[in-house]
Amino acid sequence: MAPYDSARIARTLTTVVFTPTRLREGYDIDEVDRFIDQVIVMVKAGEPREDIERFIDATAIEKTRVRTGYDIHEVDELFTKIRAALAVPFDPKTPRSVASSPKETTRLVTMIENVRFQQTKYSSGYDQDDVDDFLDSLIAAVKRGKRGSDIETFIAGAKFDLAKFREGYDMDEVDEFLDRFILASGGDRATQPPHQPEHSVLRKLFGRE
């Protein structure tokens, strides 16, 4: 048995979704995907933590400005999280949740406060007030110490109206952020998008069509 929680780390890597970059520097999508696939293979095989860390350190991912890429900060943040997970001894009896320490609370709250969504003008989007109000309630839940499965359940219950004749928030971006937040809070899986899932990229990625 691996000295770390290989199943959870592999699940995190398999379900992660990055924000695509447009007209700004990002990591090459194909290189990141291949890199993640290789780390998943190593983790599932239970290879030593040191070997996986050396592989991560030795990998230089090409950056792109012209082509669409993956958000550099989000990719780097993911592997910071993976490094931390590799360092935690695996104990099947330990609840799979992120500790509600003040530092962790600040990190999660900041993640919500800093998110920005593209506004829709000529296509359907989520009602901005609905999304903003929900994010405020999500911050309150985090401050109350909610993590992991509690956050999954909380997000799964979100309901957003559509803004068809006024500016709204891009639905794919909102859905992708909420799935990233579940993972960041210690959850294990992507949640069903709150509204109109047929428009969600996540539905395609996770076999929901």
**Average pLDDT of the residues in 71-98:** 78
**Banded model confidence at residue 33, pLDDT cuts 50, 70, 90:** very high
Per-residue confidence (pLDDT) for residue 160, from 0 to 100: 92
d(CA 111, CA 78): 13
Q: Are strands 26-28 and 69-70 parallel, antiparallel or unpaired?
A: antiparallel
Nearest to 162 by CA among 117, 202, 186, 131: 131
Range scoring the smallest mean pLDDT among 8-17, 66-75, 109-118: 8-17
Nearest to 34 by CA among 19, 50, 13, 53: 13
Per-residue confidence (pLDDT) for residue 38, from 0 to 100: 95
Per-residue confidence (pLDDT) for residue 1, from 0 to 100: 57
- All structural domains of the chain with their residue ranges: 6-86, 102-205
Nearest to 136 by CA among 149, 123, 119, 154: 154
Range scoring the smallest mean pLDDT among 13-22, 144-153, 164-173, 191-200: 191-200
CA 23 to chain centre: 22
Per-residue confidence (pLDDT) for residue 99, from 0 to 100: 54
**Average pLDDT of the residues in 57-73:** 91
**Banded model confidence at residue 208, pLDDT cuts 50, 70, 90:** very low
